[in-house]
């Protein structure tokens, strides 16, 4: 088979910056990413952004089935050649953000996500799985290095934020490998990292996922404000009610939301939910 670079050239492919097209070609790296995703011959893989198909091919070699979304139809001839002989690959030329995830999951059943994500849409894609997915076992995704740090951050660090707390409720998150910018064509301005998020049933149990989401949003609403003041602003609590809730959650006065680990945010969200402050 010809190298990806040669296929792209002979197809006259023009990279489109607006789609976050930074492709991988290194076979060892591609195979390592497929291994990071824990793929076996029983695994169904969902890839977002097939690009020139180099990662898709590496996934196909290890998986039972690979369903790959790609927004850019002009990659069709490139993918046809790059995936020749990969009988377990299916390319869907569609914007993943517009696909019906419920219908897709009904078709895939149990699956893992493995992708070199288009960076302009990284967080919305990840949050879609974190908040809506039912059959997803894990996400193994290439993201900008600083985004990877945010996803896996510890409470109280500058990188810790609402996205970290949302992920931590449902999944174990770790940086599987760092990938220098020189590994991509064209070369982006930042380094990257592969993050593995493995879903764990009841990792941090809550009475209401919606209440947890709203509590997290509130806790990080204004980083300069105390949690108490953010609670007043978000849920129209009286000062008295806010103090009562915080005391029941064993959270000291003057604490800022960003210092609270996800487990403590979960306890707070349960109390806000039970007392009817979040419906
Ligand atoms: N998987 C390839 C690789 O590793 O070389 C390509 C990765 S590249 C970073 C991201 C790919 O996602 C691009 O091919 C881009 O066209 C595609 N893409 C961008 N936005 C998308 C969307 N909303 N839905 C599906 N594919 C998208």
In sequence order, which ranges of the chain are alpha helices (DSSP H)? 4-10, 27-36, 54-62, 76-82, 101-108, 122-132, 145-151, 162-170, 209-219, 227-235, 239-248, 262-274
Ligand 1, atom 23, residue with closest C-alpha: 95
Looking from the CA of 216 toward its CB, the CA atoms found within 13 Å total: 22
Give nearest CA residue, ligand 1 atom 6. Answer: 51
Contacts of 41 (CB under 8 A, 6+ apart): 62, 63, 64
Kindly tell me if the per-residue pLDDT of 151 is higher than 80: yes
Given this model, what pLDDT does residue 233 score? 92
Average pLDDT over all residues of the chain: 97
Quick check: 223 pLDDT over 90? no
Q: What are phi and psi of 17, to 5 degrees?
A: -60, -35
Q: Whose CA is nearest to atom 11 of ligand 1?
A: 49
Protein residues whose CB sits closer than 6 Å to any atom of ligand 1: 19-24, 48-52, 54-55, 69-72, 95-97, 116, 118, 121
d(CA 59, CA 65): 9
pLDDT of residue 158: 95
Whole-model pTM? 0.96
What pLDDT is recorded for position 137?
98
Predicted local confidence at residue 279, as pLDDT: 86
- 1: pLDDT strictly greater than 80: no
Q: How far, in Å, is the centroid of ligand 1 from the Cα of 104?
A: 18
Q: Are strands 171-179 and 192-199 parallel, antiparallel or unpaired?
A: antiparallel
Name beta bridge partners: 62. Answer: none
Cis (ω within 30 of 0) for the bond into 186?
Answer: yes
14-32 pLDDT, tens digit per residue, is 999 999 999 999 999 999 9
Sequence-ordered list of residues with C-beta below 8 angstroms from that of 100, at least 6 positions apart, any chain: none
Strand partners, 69: 48, 92
pLDDT digits (tens, 9 = 90+) for 196-220: 999 999 999 999 999 999 999 999 9
Contact 234, 217 (CB under 8 A): yes
Question: What number is the average pLDDT over the span 230-241?
Answer: 94
Name the residue of 51, 101, 191, 193 whose CB sits within 8 Å of the most ligand 1 atoms, as the mutation to test its pocket: 51
Q: Answer yes or no: are the C-beta atoms of 46 and 112 closer than 8 Å.
A: yes
Distance CA 17, CA 175 (A): 26
Strand pairing class (111-116; 171-179): unpaired
Q: Collect all residues with Cβ–Cβ distance below 8 Å to 12 and sequence separation of at least 6.
A: none
Averaged pLDDT for residues 59-63: 98
Q: Which of the 8 DSSP states describes residue 182? A: G
Rounded mean pLDDT, 156-166: 97
Strand pairing class (136-144; 192-199): antiparallel
Residue owning the nearest CA to atom 5 of ligand 1: 23
């Amino acid at each position: 088979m010809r190298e990806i670079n040669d296929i792209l050239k002979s197809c006259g492919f023009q990279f489109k910056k607006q789609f976050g097209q930074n492709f991988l070609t290194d076979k060892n790296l591609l195979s390592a990413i497929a291994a990071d995703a824990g793929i076996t011959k029983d695994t169904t893989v969902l890839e977002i952004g097939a690009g020139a198909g180099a990662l898709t091919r590496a996934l196909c070699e290890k998986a039972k089935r690979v369903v790959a979304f790609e927004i850019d139809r002009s990659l069709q001839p490139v993918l046809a050649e790059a995936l020749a002989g990969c009988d377990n690959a299916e390319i869907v030329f569609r914007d993943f953000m517009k696909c019906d995830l419920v219908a897709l999951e009904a078709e895939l059943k149990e699956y893992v996500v493995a992708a070199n994500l288009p960076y302009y849409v990284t967080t919305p894609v990840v949050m879609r799985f974190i908040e809506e997915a039912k059959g997803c076992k894990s996400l193994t995704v290439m993201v900008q290095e600083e985004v990877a740090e945010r996803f896996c951050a510890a409470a109280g660090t500058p990188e810790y934020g609402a996205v970290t707390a949302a992920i931590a409720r449902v999944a174990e998150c770790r940086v599987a490998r760092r990938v220098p910018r020189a590994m991509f064509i064209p070369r982006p301005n930042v380094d990257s990292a592969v993050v593995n998020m493995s879903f764990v049933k009841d990792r941090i149990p809550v009475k209401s996922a919606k209440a947890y989401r709203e509590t997290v949003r509130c806790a990080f609403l204004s980083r300069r404000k105390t949690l108490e003041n953010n609670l007043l602003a978000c849920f129209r609590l009286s000062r008295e009610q806010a103090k009562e809730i915080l005391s029941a959650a064993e959270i000291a006065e003057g604490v800022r939301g960003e210092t609270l680990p996800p487990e403590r945010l979960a306890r707070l969200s349960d109390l806000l939910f039970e007392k009817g402050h979040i419906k």
